[in-house]
Structure 1
Amino acid sequence: MNLREIDTISTDNLIGSAFGFAANPIVEVESAEPVTNKERDRDYLELKRRVTQAGLLDRQYFYYAWKILSVVGMVAASIAVMVLFSSTLWVQMVNAAFLALTFTNLGFLGHDSGHRQMFKKVRHNDWVLLGVGFLTGMTPSWWQDKHNTHHRAPNQIDVDGDIEVSLFAFTEEQASTMRGIGRLTVRYQAFLFYPLLMLTALSLLFGGIAYQIRKERMRYPITEPVLVVAGLASYLAVIFFFLGPWYGAAFIAVHRALGGIYMGSVFAPNHKGMPILEKEDEMDFLHQQVLTARDVQGSPIADFWYGGLNYQIEHHLFPNMPRNNLKRSQVIVRDFCTEKGIPYYETGVWQSHKEILGFLHEVSRPLRQKKA
């Protein structure tokens, strides 16, 4: 696929009918005449001008002060329940689920600060990111490195690490190269997708630890690992001190499993099942960010649940836009895409997951077909 072909991208070959629904309908938009890169660069600059003029890139200090205080309050509430009801197992299992919600919301704060959405000064955003690293045990530098690469080239093979996962395949070529346990999981990946998401939190945790051991790029090479290790030690100490070994182990298992499902189910609709690009494909920024992303229809509940990431197209176009402005920017971005003939896709929560499962099922079909 090259730049001239981008306006006729089709996802029909990606999202199958295995789960009884129509393929993603965002495609088959043809340009009347070829458009140059310079013209497309000007398009993005014009869109950015409109968004900036609307004040949507302005910092939202009161909003983020409230978000930080509320999420820290959620952490404190979980610890209080752990202390006050330490001998009641069912209460602690509910508390573990609540902490899964809390940790994912901490992750949203880390995500926003990593994109410099909160403050103008880099170090102030870094303080929040380091605090999130301490509370969750996730390595900020590793996540930032991985996530920034994803933003530069979403859904691009051999570039975007989010589509290079050992237990899943996102192209038929990836599926055909799988071996061992990976081949088995990919064969039935549409059915195993949600159970395997339970490993997401652990994958993020150990991925960061491996990054630190390799001593790769870290903005704070001493402070960061010290905070992460101290945070993990505190997490384990508090849980086992108040709950004991058996309740503590059950608490951690439920917390990490549900946290993984929550995080994975929030991240997956962003790009899974949308067009995938070859490594050598060249595409302008505006088209790549819009065509490889999917918005999920917003509501007060959805916006909270997804941490604003349901406005994925807008977030990818303007990563430093404060979370609470993404919904307002959607009207501007959607109208602009219509004006320029750029396919813009938004769907509901359930439909997005049906599309993801259909896509995963279709990609893995060759592994389920009997050889002649």
Structure 2
Amino acid sequence: MPQATAAAPVAEPVPDPAAGAGSAGSDFAPLLRVVREQGLLERRVAWYARGITVNALFLAAIVTGMILLGPSWWAVLLAVPLAVLSARMSFVGHDAGHAQITNDRAKGRIVQLVHANLLLGMSQEWWNDKHNRHHANPNHVDKDPDVKADVLVHTQRQTAGRTGLRAWLTRNQAWLFFPLTTLEGIALKVAGFQAVLSRRDNRMSTRQRVVEGTLLAVHVAAYLTLLLTTLSIGQAVVFLLVHQMLLGLHLGMAFAPNHKGMEMPDPETSASWGHLRRQVLTSRNIRGGALTDWFLGGLNYQIEHHLFPSMPRPHLRLAQPLVRAHCRSLGVSYTETGLIDSYRQALGHLHGVGEPLRADA
């Protein structure tokens, strides 16, 4: 592996307009000023500390339950709450990556390393790099990695040249979307390991690779040791599959409503919109109460999150009325819908994208 220098590019927290990107004459500046005056950008360290503590207690309870139950199919049922808990931990890792938890960059990095690498087996730096590029240019076909042509495609232009299995997947991607998300938990781990071990990936310094690789290895070793010392081989395989597939489904259900079916700007349009329109017009909020907030990890306030990436999760709902009113005053469309309808819109978009291949079949 080539030696990376300390100057090797690394994933930094996504540039936050709240740190000074909103110019005095921009559409965003008045909103930023009001949000700052109301203290909505102040960190909520105690709120996150309570949540992390509760997660740790539930994790300890699940592990204890597996040890006490031993090689029993009742123990396999604990894969379900563990999948939910893993999603909770992924939301904490996401927030730490956006510097929502603390202003101290070193402490925030430790929190994310623990949650992403150690507890979930996912590379911190790989995720930050990918997610920051998404935030900088949401739904931009050429710049947002979340809408590049892969297993799924997001524009009819991306369907060109797809044949065989890929063409079949595209024709049926709306029906296959949720089944495919069951693989997301495993896919995130694989991508993280590939990034850490890749000889061509220069986003990490040698020290970062060692730290991340060590934590990923510890995660795998601890996870497999827990399964193989408490369950039979067959039960361990079933537990792993149920845990990882439900985790992927939960994450897919949380991320699917956010941007699919929303505006997809071309380079010229994106440049002319400015920060506020670029983030608002490509994002969709989900209506609901405390249960929706909990289930979606605060990502149901996607517009507010994209406008203010470092805003702590509990403040997003407080900022929503301010953002909605500001958009109304500017005549900017503010999209908000119910959870079920958001899935209908997202799947409808994916179905429409596959139309050219269905017509040719």
Normalising by structure 2, report the TM-score.
0.89
Secondary structure of 1:272's counterpart equals: coil
Deviation at 1:184, TM superposition (A): 1.0
Q: Give the Cα–Cα distance (whole angstroms) in 2 for the partners of residues 370 and 171 of structure 1.
A: 17
Relative distance call for 1:72 and 1:179 in structure 2 (3 A) is farther
Give matches, 1:40-189, under 5 Å.
42-89=26-73, 91-132=74-115, 133-189=117-173
Q: 2:310 aligns with which of 282, 300, 320?
A: 320
Give matches, 1:1-372, under 5 Å.
42-89=26-73, 91-132=74-115, 133-214=117-198, 215-218=201-204, 220-281=208-269, 282=271, 283-370=273-360
Deviation at 1:86, TM superposition (A): 2.5
The residue aligned with 1:10 is none
Q: Give the Cα–Cα distance (whole angstroms) in 2 for the partners of residues 226 and 243 of structure 1.
A: 26
Residue type at the aligned position of 2:331: G
Asked whether the equivalents of residues 71 and 232 of structure 2 are also in contact (C-alpha less than 8 Å), the reply is: no
Q: Give the Cα–Cα distance (whole angstroms) in 2 for the partners of residues 182 and 100 of structure 1.
A: 29
Aligned residues with identical type, % of pairs: 37
The residue aligned with 1:8 is none
Secondary structure of 1:166's counterpart equals: coil
Asked whether the equivalents of residues 72 and 231 of structure 2 are also in contact (C-alpha less than 8 Å), the reply is: no
Relative distance call for 1:39 and 1:55 in structure 2 (3 A) is closer
Deviation at 1:42, TM superposition (A): 2.1
Q: Give the Cα–Cα distance (whole angstroms) in 1 for the partners of residues 286 and 76 of structure 2.
A: 30
Asked whether the equivalents of residues 41 and 284 of structure 1 are also in contact (C-alpha less than 8 Å), the reply is: no
Secondary structure of 2:209's counterpart equals: coil
The residue aligned with 2:8 is none
Give unmatched runs, 5+ long, in structure 2: 1-21
Secondary structure of 1:286's counterpart equals: helix
Note the alpha carbon deviations across 1:265-320, whole angstroms, 9 max, x for none.
Answer: 10010101111122454231110100000000131100000110000000000000
Residue type at the aligned position of 2:304: E
Q: CA RMSD of the aligned region, Å?
A: 1.6
Asked whether the equivalents of residues 298 and 327 of structure 1 are also in contact (C-alpha less than 8 Å), the reply is: no
Asked whether the equivalents of residues 198 and 260 of structure 1 are also in contact (C-alpha less than 8 Å), the reply is: yes
Asked whether the equivalents of residues 297 and 349 of structure 1 are also in contact (C-alpha less than 8 Å), the reply is: yes
Secondary structure of 1:135's counterpart equals: helix
Relative distance call for 1:292 and 1:40 in structure 2 (3 A) is farther
| Bigger Cα displacement from structure 2, 91-100 vs 168-177 | 91-100
Q: Give the Cα–Cα distance (whole angstroms) in 2 for the partners of residues 39 and 48 of structure 1.
A: 10
Asked whether the equivalents of residues 159 and 279 of structure 1 are also in contact (C-alpha less than 8 Å), the reply is: no
The residue aligned with 2:10 is none
Relative distance call for 1:309 and 1:204 in structure 2 (3 A) is same
Secondary structure of 1:271's counterpart equals: coil
Normalising by structure 1, report the TM-score.
0.86
**Matched pairs, number:** 333
Q: Give the Cα–Cα distance (whole angstroms) in 2 for the partners of residues 175 and 86 of structure 1.
A: 49
Asked whether the equivalents of residues 256 and 346 of structure 2 are also in contact (C-alpha less than 8 Å), the reply is: yes
Q: Give the Cα–Cα distance (whole angstroms) in 2 for the partners of residues 327 and 81 of structure 1.
A: 36
